[in-house]
Structures are given as C-alpha cells and as structure tokens.
Amino acid sequence: MSAPTKKPAVTEREARQVAEAAREQDWRKPSFAKELFLGRLRLDLIHPHPMPTDEEAQRGEEFLAKLRDFCETKIDGARIERDAQIPDETINGLKELGALGMKIDTKYGGLGLTQVYYNKALALVGSANPAVGALLSAHQSIGVPQPLKLFGTQEQKDTFLPRCARTDISAFLLTEPDVGSDPARLATTAVPDGDSYILDGVKLWTTNGVVADLLVVMARVPKSEGHKGGITAFVVESASEGITVENRNAFMGLRGLENGVTRFHQVRVPAANRIGPEGAGLKIALTTLNTGRLSLPAMCVGAGKWCLKIAREWSAAREQWGKPVAFHEAVGSKISFIAATTFALEALLDLSSQMADEDRNDIRIEAALAKLYGSEMAWLMADELVQIRGGRGFETAESLAARGERAVPAEQILRDLRINRIFEGSTEIMHLLIAREAVDAHLKVAGDLIDPEKTLQDKAKAGANAGVFYAKWLPKLVAGPGQLPRSYADFHPEGHLDLSGHLRYVERSARKLARSTFYAMSRWQGRMETKQGFLGRIVDIGAELFAMSAACVRAEHLRTTGDHGREAYQLADAFCRQSRIRVEELFGRLWSNTDDLDRKVVKGVLGGTYTWLEEGVIDPSGDGAWIADATPGPAKRDNVHRPIR
C-alpha cells in the first residue's frame, strides 16, 4: 500500500483548470438565465408559469400538513437555541414522519416529493428553527441521497437509500482546514489497496458530521497503474474504524448545527462504495449542487415571510408621535421592501424549483442565482426587521420574555441567516461561478484569442469563428421588443397595474448587459478573469433581472388562477420599481468605481504601509495558528461522534 500523498502544490492556472474540467461543458437544454446574460429575454421558457401535477400537489400538501403540526408541537426553537442542540426526540420524530426521505423515491421508502414541495417543507421547518432545516437540507440536498440519485449504481441505491429515507443521517465532506473553494488543493487521499481504498485526511465544517451515520467524502486518488486517479467521491460508514469526530464546532448562529471536524486515519472503504469513476468527484459535487443549492433560498423565503409577519404586527402595535410606526415613511419603506422582496424571492424559488422538477431546462445558473440573491436579500430583510424593532430587535427573545414581552427572536434570525452568504459557495465564489457560465458562449468562440498558451494558428482560427458569431449576435443587441410600447401585453390586463413596462425594461437591460459584457471582454481580454468587481456587478444585474421576470410571471399566474391576483400585481410592481433602482446603480458602477484604487490600498495594507492605523487598540484574539494543522495521522482527541438512535 502506498503512503498518503502530500498536499498538492497548485498554481492559479492549474486550480482553474481543475475547476473548468469539473463543470458541465455542454448546454443540452435551454436556460432562461443563460439567454438573459446573452441579451435575450426568452419569456417563453418561464411563461405560462409551470405547475406541478395534481397528484404531486396533493402528496406534497398532505405532507406539509403533517409537518406543520409537528413543527408547531414538537420543535422547541427556544430550547434548541438555549441548549445549542436539537433534542434526540425531535430528530427521531422527524425520522418517523419520513422527513429524512422527502426527496427519495417511494420505491426506496422515501416520500418522493417534488423539488417544489421539498423546498416548501424546508421553508416551514426552517421557520420553526433554522438548525433543523439545515440538518434536513444537508442530509438530502448534498448528503448521500442526491449524489446517489444522480450517479449511484443500482446496488448502491438499493443499499443506502432505504437507510437514508428513514433512519440514517448523512453528511457531505469536501472542505478541509486549508482548502475552501479551491478543491484543486484537496489533501485527503484515498489510496487503492486491493478491492478497497484507504482514506487519510482531515475534513472541516462537516455539517451533520457529528451525528451522521453515512458520509459522502471527497478524496484524491493518486494516479497509478490501473487507476486514473483524481478527486473521487465515496460513501463512507461513519462508524468505520479510524474515523474520529475531533470537535463539534460552534458558530454565531445555527446553534443547534451538528457541524464538526472529522479525521480519517487508515480508513478502509470498499471500492463498491465509490460513486462514479475515479476523478469524477468534483463533477459529482457540482452537479449535485445544481439543484441542491435551492434548499438555501427555500429557507430564506421562510425567513422573509416571518420577517414580514413580525414587521406587520409590531409596526401596527408600536406607536410614535400619535400613529403606528408603520405609517412613518422611514419605517414604511422598510416594510414595503420586506413584503415586495419576499414575494419576488418566493417567485424566483418556485419557478426555479418547478423547472428542476420538469427537467426541460438547464437550471445551473438559475439555481445559483436563486442561492446568491436569496441569501443576500434575506440578510437585508432580517437586518431591516431588527431596525424596525429598534432596541427590542437587538434584545434576545429570552430577555424579552423575562421582562414580560413577546419573545421575538429577531436578533437570532439575523445571526442564523448570516451563514447563507457563505454556505455552499460564498457570495464572492457564486459571482465567479455564475460569471463563468454567463460568458460561456463567448469563451467557446473566442476563448483561444485570449489564452496566452494558444498558438498563432489557434488564435487565427478562433478569430474567424468569433467573427462569424459576433456578426450575427451583436446586431441583435441594438433593438428588441423592449422598445415597442405594446410588447408583453399579457402583463397589462384590464383593471390591473401594468407589469408589461417592467418586462420591457428587463428586455432592454438584458441587451445592455450583454453589450457591457462584450465591451469588457474586448477591453480586458485575458485580464477579464481578474476583474472580479466588474463580474460581480454583471451577475448582480442578471440576478435582479431574473427576479423581476419571475415576479411578473408569478403575479400573472396568480391573477389567472384567481388567487390574490390584484395584490400580487401590486407586490410585483413594487418589487420591480425597487429592483430597477438597484439595476441602474449597478450599471453605473460597472464603469465608475474604485476597483483600481482598492487594489492599490490592498497592496499597501498587506505591505505594512498602514500599520500605524491599527495602533491604539487591544486585540482580544487568543493564541494559535491561523489554520489548524491537518497532517494525516491517528487521532489525538476523543471521538465526539454521537449517532441518534
């Protein structure tokens, strides 16, 4: 048996090549968001609003009714916050309810819910306590069930899915102490040994890892005779000899989260437990996240709904200067923002989820945008709620109750939501990931032109291809339906507000966005990938345009089904007007910003130029390394793994 390999030394270019190889290369199905970034509003891809079948809806609603009763009677959010742990009886109750198998097919003992109803369930549970929502989400969205559903063998599905549906909790282990969003440097190894692999390494931030029964582990297989090697995915029994949960981590929010540090020392894993071929681990992880990311915006929608409820009730009861605070413009604008944004987020989520269920569209960009936009906007809504509540927003629910007031955990939701801007790809990484997909069409035809390693012959060929592509594409960005006053007339029904103007704005802005992207690529060429501030703004504009489109489509759907149509039109109109202000600001900041100056300041900070500015304070940080030692070897700490039985 070979010795474990050392942590690989990886250049920036090599890291990028690993990430590029892992992403799905082709677009076999249409994508609304991809078209939007190319300057085309393909409303036909999302309107009329897709809907679940009657059977799917009935099964989903029946489970939601049971789950609501469980959440109201069996989940004590205050106790979880106080004890920093979900009680075993609560987890066992969820198992009995079948909540571990919401997305697992009925033939394996699961409930077989659609993505739409799975997300509604997560929003409901997350509103009762976000840590419980995180447990269920990590188990099903990125844990063992989803990668096996997509890439597992029939034998693996038969073996593990029934367990995951009813009894066993799973976790997903990718991150390491010195490896975050740069998996090319993954150090955990899986060395072939006969009909097994031997795992060695340390994994960090293993959500559910403290209580998990089954693990999805990403490890590097060394290249050798008969072994392609590369980052590979495995299903690992958490009770295997050599696995130690060395620490249960604690955070500013999600206090009930069972998240830890897991060490593997000479852990034997059968080759039959490998998911997919060697080297396919990152592709499996990214593909799993294509729909798995929708679980986070689901809980963000639930948070928005709760923020709206509390803002409404409190702002009607609290009076200042002779009238409820809601009727003071400074507070009222915050309530309007929460209401309109919650409506848009739910529209974005339901639309993306239904598209995932129908599988007619490629939703990799849509899901990523929903995660990015949902996590950012939910945080803003929670922050506004704390501001509306004033001093009571900063006070804990326990303290409020102790002095006789309603125990509203506003400060807790702010803490709990903060992690969503980091979970499953930080906002900064999501900007880069989405930007890469958004410019894919350009790179396919002109990528060789800006690649310094390509030959002159390759560049000449790319230039010819690019000329043909842009000769057809660029003229279409000059004019479109957004300039015709009667376009999208379906969205201006008699007796309702006019949403057609907002869709015309989306169409015009999509073309402007595409022109801006093309101009930037022409200007910066190979340096485009370093312009992360610019790319982030491009993506944020796309997110706003997608949200506006979804809000309009949802409002029209609710109008035609007779379900709060007039009110939905009002909320969609308010959201689009708020969103348009943000879009115009982002367009302005594409070319008028401090990005270059910021880079100079950063060089000065890291070079010690401004250390005098740090004088006059005490650093309360404790001693210790910035990054913990993750050298493979036997455990030196007690095992805090505690399976729930």
Residues recognised as catalytic: 424
Give CA–CA dist 467/484, Å, rounded.
Answer: 29
Q: Which two tokens stand for residue 638?
A: 């007690």
Q: Which residues pair with residue 263 across a beta bridge?
A: 202, 244
Q: Which of 541, 588, 621, 554 is nearest to 372 (CA)?
A: 541
Max intra-chain CA distance, the chain: 81
Cis peptide before 30 (omega within 30 of 0): no
The residue whose two tokens read 């004890």 is: 83
Helices (H), 221-294: 281-292
End-to-end CA distance of the chain: 36
Helices 410-418/130-137 angle, 10° precision: 30
Give CA–CA dist 168/213, Å, rounded.
Answer: 5
Please say whether the dihedral angle defined by the alpha carbons of residues 176, 180, 183 and 184, taken in this order, is positive or negative. negative
Three-class secondary structure of residue 194 per DSSP: coil
Helices 532-560/364-389 angle, 10° precision: 90
Residue 108 per-residue DSSP state? G
Q: Across 284-358, where does the E strand assignment appear?
A: 319-320, 323-324
Q: What is the enclosing helix (H) or strand (E) of 30? A: none
The residue whose two tokens read 């999208």 is: 488
Q: What is the CA radius of gyration of the chain?
A: 25
> CB of 222 within 8 A of CB of 52?
no
Q: Which of 515, 516, 585 is nearest to 544 (CA)?
A: 585
Q: What is the enclosing helix (H) or strand (E) of 223? A: none
The residue whose two tokens read 């309009």 is: 552
What Cα–Cα distance (Å) separates residue 248 from each residue in 133, 180, 481, 629?
A: 18, 19, 56, 17
Give CA–CA dist 122/98, Å, rounded.
Answer: 13
Please return the burial class of 403, using the count of CB atoms within 10 Å of its CB with bins 0-12, 13-18 and 19+.
Answer: exposed
Q: Which two tokens stand for residue 398?
A: 């326990």
Q: Which two tokens stand for residue 477?
A: 């960005």
Q: What is the enclosing helix (H) or strand (E) of 60? A: helix 54-74
Q: Are strands 274-275 and 214-221 parallel, antiparallel or unpaired?
A: unpaired
